[in-house]
Amino acid sequence: MNTKTVAAVLAAVCAPFVAPLVVQAADPAAVARGKYLVTIASCHDCHTPGYFLGKPDMARYLGGSDVGFELPGMGVFVGPNLTPDKETGLGNWTDAQVVAAIQKGTRPDSRMLAPIMPYHAFANLTPQDAQAIVAFLRSIPPVQHKVAGPFGPTQTPAVFVMRIVPPPGK
């Protein structure tokens, strides 16, 4: 057999076992709409390092915060990495899982997001707008950044903390 024949035979035999690389381009209008929605919702506030310290690191845009929110009796929660990084971001989440987090506050591991995440408000997004946000998040560069936490109410956080303090008697 010649080299071309061997290559053809190997390709035919291996084809069922090798997943084809399919890259589907997102609709540019959906990505633009998603960017608009992410911007007006100020997602970067809680999800971009340095934002709460007055120096947002735009090279790590939406790559996860470095400041946590302390909720009395619940613990400290840090805005996670929303980039498509497969190890530390949303890269292994399905579109439906991202939409569920945005609109229902549920993660793929069934954990509920902290109530600081305004998923109750985002529950009112249209399906098209929710998908546009997903399309935009999939379009941004992946950032490898594992955020700290969450920290339970008795744990010591390893990050700066913004504390929500209830008034006396509440």
The answer to whether residue 69 sits within a structural domain is: no
In this prediction, residues 91-118 reach a mean pLDDT of 95
pLDDT score at 158: 92
**Is the residue at 151 inside a domain?**
no
What is the CATH number for 102? 1.10.760
Distance CA 84, CA 137 (A): 7
Is residue 158 assigned to a domain? Answer: no
- For every residue of 25-78, DSSP letters joined together read PPPHHHHHHHHHHHHHTTHHHHHSTTGGGT---GGGTTS--SEEEEETTTEEEE
In-domain check, residue 49: yes
67-96 average pLDDT score: 95
Q: Assess if residue 155 is contained within a domain.
A: no
133 in any annotated domain: yes
Domain that holds residue 48: 24-61+80-144
Give the model confidence (pLDDT) of 43-63 as tens digits. 999 999 999 999 999 999 999
Structure tokens at 7: 């290559």
Domain assignment present for residue 154? The answer is no
Q: What is the mean pLDDT of residues 109-136?
A: 95
Tens of pLDDT, residues 1-32: 554 554 454 445 444 444 443 345 679 999 99
Q: What span, in angstroms and rounded, lies between the C-alpha atoms of 161 and 59?
A: 23
Q: What pLDDT, on the 0 to 100 scale, is given for residue 24?
A: 52
Structural domain count, the chain: 1
Task: Please report whether residue 10 resides in a domain.
Answer: no
Q: Average pLDDT of 135-159?
A: 95
